[in-house]
Amino acid sequence: MTVASATEMLMPKLSDSMEEGTILSWLVVPGAEVAAGQDLLEVETDKATMTVQAEAAGALEILVEEGEAVAVGTPIARLGEGAGPAAVDVVPAAPRATVADAAEPTPAEAPALTEAPAPTPVAPAPVASAPGGTRRSTPLARRLAADHGVAIDSIDGSGVGGRVVKADVLAAAGIEATPEPESPSPGPIETAKGGSNTVELSRLQAVIARRMAEAKATVPHFQVETEVRMDAAIALRTELKRLAGEDPVPSFNDLIVRAAAIALRRHPKANGSYVGSAFELHDRVNIGIAVAAEDTLIVPTIFDVDKKSLGEIARDARRLAGRVRAGEVTPPELAGGTFTVSNLGMFGMTAIYPVINPPQAAILGVGRTRATLARGEGGEIVDVSLMTLTLSCDHRILYGAEAAEFLGAIRDLLESPLRLAL
């Protein structure tokens, strides 16, 4: 593709911990004119799947194909001037060593397919290429559609999210796909465990696994644990439900997040990071809340929690959780966390011992509230509701006594929850 001038787009850094990204799909066909700020591609990072916008206007030249993973800062596309779809001759990119388990064969296979016997010749139909108006499809599917005179917008896609793939184009052209040669398989190995299937990790799962392994290996961590009497907090939430009306009712997790924020302001080292050979004590109290998404865990951030009411925290938490589950969360919503709360109480877990999210100093694990018996002030047996809180700490910045004081402050706030409104 020859252009008078071009803007080179690089793989962006979409989260604090991102080192590389995988191109999931291009949302605009090669050669199409795009506008600055238009949705251009979907990228999978170590946090989530993000939509990336065009940085400038111009005709699109794709440098990195779908399915490829490249490091942050690698050129992935050019946006040039004066070239439209009709003037573009897209040359298939050579396969790269970074591609693993691609869902589609490489573009180099396309010429062999054009030699297959075709049905009665038809006049080639132009492939729609208007930005935002083309049915989502893989680059190989678009090339095959052009080769066989098939209008790609008329094809119902069978790929993920309705994407048109190679098999859909071949079927529309009346061509029977040649089965791909299968690698010899040793077959199932019979052991005392029975049969087994290997499930490959997604890019996101692999990055999370690597980061958690690095955290366990490189961060000298320890845990402190306490039991919280939640009876007063349960009574407060019952009253809040009565008063809330149509507003979201703060959950127990919202109460915990608010208590943690107040305690973090009083214990600044718990709101810090260990970087190099120094402490970084952060001005803002930004708490990440772990949200279970499909096959992974995403941690969006509630900012300035110490300055927000319980109602504001409840609204922010529900909005962020909804955006995570809908796949709409953005990089700024995942960045800037200074502390994390991970709650498995809704799954019935009594306690959780979470892994620190570097470079944060600590993470709070929350178990379920459970009914038990205890001694009252007069020695009588009474019913109480207990919840287990576990704090995992980076020993380079927090020591045992400091961690105990910080966790004790969270416990005291939850046991006297009216203080959360101050």
Residues labelled catalytic: 395
Alpha carbon distance 22, 42 (integer Å): 9
Alpha carbon distance 64, 76 (integer Å): 5
Q: List the structure tokens of 251.
A: 């959950």
Q: List the structure tokens of 225.
A: 């644990």
Of the candidates 288, 287, 296, which has an alpha carbon nearest to the alpha carbon of residue 44? Answer: 296
Could you give the 3-state DSSP secondary structure of residue 73? coil
Alpha carbon distance 49, 66 (integer Å): 14
- Cβ(169)–Cβ(150) below 8 Å: yes
Of the candidates 20, 28, 218, 289, which has an alpha carbon nearest to the alpha carbon of residue 135? Answer: 28
Quick one: three-class SS letters along 348-413? CCCCCCCCCCCCECEEEEEEEEEEEEEECCCCCEEEEEEEEEEEEEECCCCCHHHHHHHHHHHHHH
Alpha carbon distance 7, 21 (integer Å): 20
Could you give the 3-state DSSP secondary structure of residue 194? coil
Q: List the structure tokens of 175.
A: 């061509």
Length in residues, the chain: 422
- Cβ(353)–Cβ(365) below 8 Å: yes
Helical residues (DSSP H) of 33-156, grouped into ranges: 110-114, 139-147
Q: List the structure tokens of 312.
A: 């504001």
Q: List the structure tokens of 243.
A: 């008063």
- Cβ(82)–Cβ(3) below 8 Å: yes
Sequence-distant (≥ 6) Cβ neighbours of residue 156 within 8 angstroms? 162, 164, 168
Of the candidates 83, 63, 56, which has an alpha carbon nearest to the alpha carbon of residue 23? Answer: 63
Question: Do the bridges between strand 362-375 and strand 339-343 make them parallel or antiparallel, or are there none, so unpaired?
Answer: parallel
Termini Cα distance of the chain: 63
Question: Do the bridges between strand 287-289 and strand 301-302 make them parallel or antiparallel, or are there none, so unpaired?
Answer: antiparallel
